[in-house]
Amino acid sequence: MKVARLIPSHQADLLNITLRLLLNLSFDRDIRAQIVRIGLLPKLVDLIDDENQRLICLCLLYHLSMDDRTKGYFTYTKCNQNLMKLIIDCKEERTEPEVIALAINLALNPGCAEQLLEYKHGKGLKLLMKKAYKYKDSLIMKMIKNISSHASPDIKSQFVPYVGPLGETLITEKDEVFLTEAVGTLANLTMPDIDYQALMDEYGLVEWIKSKLKPNSADTELTLNVVVLVGTLCADDACAEVLAKSDIIQILIDLLHAQQEDDEIVLQICYVFYQLCFHKSTRNVIIKNTEAPAYLIDLMQDKNKEVRRVCDMTLEIISECDNDWAGRIKHARFRNHNQTWLETIEGQQISYEDDEPSPTGNAEPYGFDPMSFGDQDDYQDQFGYNEGDGYPLDGRESPDMNHWNSINSGGDMDIDREPYTYMRDDYMGMDIDAANFTQAQRTAR
């Protein structure tokens, strides 16, 4: 790319025109990849310090940050530190949109997230939280939510002091945009050492959750984050038991029926059912007292691969625990597997009296050999565990699913509050692997 030789340039006007040309070209994905490949990224980051070129450089860097493979290259530059300086040192109530937009994108990369938190010797999160709450800045809160989405223990542990304030935000915040990001941040904190039952009891989150899960709610983003939060809470055995007894399952079924076209909401509701089926204390509630298993059977043929996978995992647990449902699930799986054959047979009017003898020993009329499809028992083995392995039904740990003071006063957040108020004394009731599922399903918005 010949224009690369003009960056940087002592001619300010020529440099500005060159950058604008690159910005126009950067709408093409292949050209964005070429810009990075020829080594322009560090040069563009250096130009952020030039006030005359800053805006155009930020826009160009934003385009580059839209590609997931490119985000990691930003860790080899000083971009993340520059962004934090621009955000924290900004004297205005709202940070420049180009700055925060780039930071939101980069926060989705674990390496970039760590660099953002390392600002001023590890005070990055503290400074971001103070500014977000002081100005009720939903964009900074979105950036914080993206940082919290990573499974790294080093990143997660820095959020422990803010579990209490985030819980308080849920019941006091009136700005739904800011509230949505706060709920999403708390939902991302899937850590075994947080006592979610204490948090849920202190702030009355059960009733708050029920009030937010309206089937016909116009704010689907808030609804989705609340459902994800329920999944996080249900990873804790005690919280799952409280939620299961509060009619939350029926509310989720109603929401599932109303939002059946929204794959993200459907997936997260299925995950909540999975968590409730896994715990001994809630397994019978969802199996015997609700129609959730029937909805899961219907979703076995959903067009979304992840929805089908979670349904299969959940129905496998149900089959192991209830013989009646096991038969229905086995029949549904057999029918789904042989759907074409069954539809062909049912669509024909067969007169066995007029049939000619089968030309082969095992072949049925119309040339179908049932052995080629396998019987129900053979099919069940494809979904079951090998004999002797057993299913880990102890209900304590899920298998890997490959997931202040007066904070509304407008003042600074009380960051000196005792940070370990909600630390657990034991890890046995928490689904340690829940984070792997929830994070894998979340995407940048």
Tens-digit pLDDT profile for residues 138-155: 999 999 999 999 999 999
Instruction: Decide if 18 is inside a domain.
Output: no
Is residue 343 over pLDDT 70? no
Average pLDDT, the chain: 80
The mean per-residue pLDDT over the stretch 328-353 comes to: 68
**Confidence bin at 341 (pLDDT 50/70/90):** low
pLDDT of residue 398: 47
**Confidence bin at 75 (pLDDT 50/70/90):** very high
Return all residues near 309 (Cβ < 8 A) that are at least 6 apart. none
Instruction: Decide if 206 is inside a domain.
Output: yes
- CB-based contact 284:249 (threshold 8 Å): no
Return all residues near 132 (Cβ < 8 A) that are at least 6 apart. 140, 141, 144
Instruction: Decide if 246 is inside a domain.
Output: yes
Query: How do residues 183-197 score in pLDDT, each as one tens digit?
Result: 999 999 998 888 899
Instruction: Decide if 57 is inside a domain.
Output: no
> Structural domain tally of the chain?
1
Query: How do residues 259-275 score in pLDDT, each as one tens digit?
Result: 888 899 999 999 999 99
Instruction: Decide if 360 is inside a domain.
Output: no
Instruction: Decide if 404 is inside a domain.
Output: yes
Is residue 324 over pLDDT 90? no
Which residues are bridge partners to 423 per DSSP? 194
Distance from C-alpha of 355 to C-alpha of 429, rounded to nearest angstrom:
62
- CB-based contact 404:416 (threshold 8 Å): no
Give the domain CATH number at 309.
1.25.10.10
The mean per-residue pLDDT over the stretch 106-120 comes to: 96
pLDDT of residue 280: 85
Domain holding 286, by residue range, is 160-340+379-445
The mean per-residue pLDDT over the stretch 358-380 comes to: 42
Instruction: Decide if 144 is inside a domain.
Output: no
Is residue 255 over pLDDT 50? yes
Instruction: Decide if 274 is inside a domain.
Output: yes
